[in-house]
Copies of this chain bind each other. A is one copy, B any other.
């Protein structure tokens, strides 16, 4: 298991994809997004419905409809996406899952985790979705799950 849930990974990847793909004011359909980020189409649809309800992505139905992001959404921090899907347990919870853990009654790892939780939170707060559009345009970053030949070559190098 990684840091985020699978659902959250799809959410982040799809948001990057939509942001990049609709910079010019166009829209992109669920099929293209799912293919572009290697995610199951209908599962992703659910995720985008959530993100849509929370205003992180916009959508329009019907012909030439699809998903897009407006300027204000582009400027939102990545933390908003993570919080919309995984909640804030990653930033606020105790590393050992203790409800009673607090500054006054700390678990053994309390201070160690505080540093890490805060660095994760800060990173996600200070990076906006828009920040990555440049990277993606340069095409030296990828959002697809695996391009085996490429991947194998990279790992061996």
Contact = CB atoms under 8 A, between A and B. Distances in A.
Contact of A157 (B1, B97, B104, B143): B104
A157 B104 CA distance: 9
A71 interface: no
Interface stretch (A43-51, A52-60, A146-154): A146-154
Number of copies of this chain in the oligomer? 2
Nearest to A6: B97
A26 to B, nearest CB: 21
Contacts of A123: 112, 115-116
Interface of A: 1-6, 9, 12-13, 16, 78, 86-87, 89-90, 93-110, 112-113, 115-116, 119-120, 123, 127, 132, 135-136, 140-147, 150-151, 154-155, 157
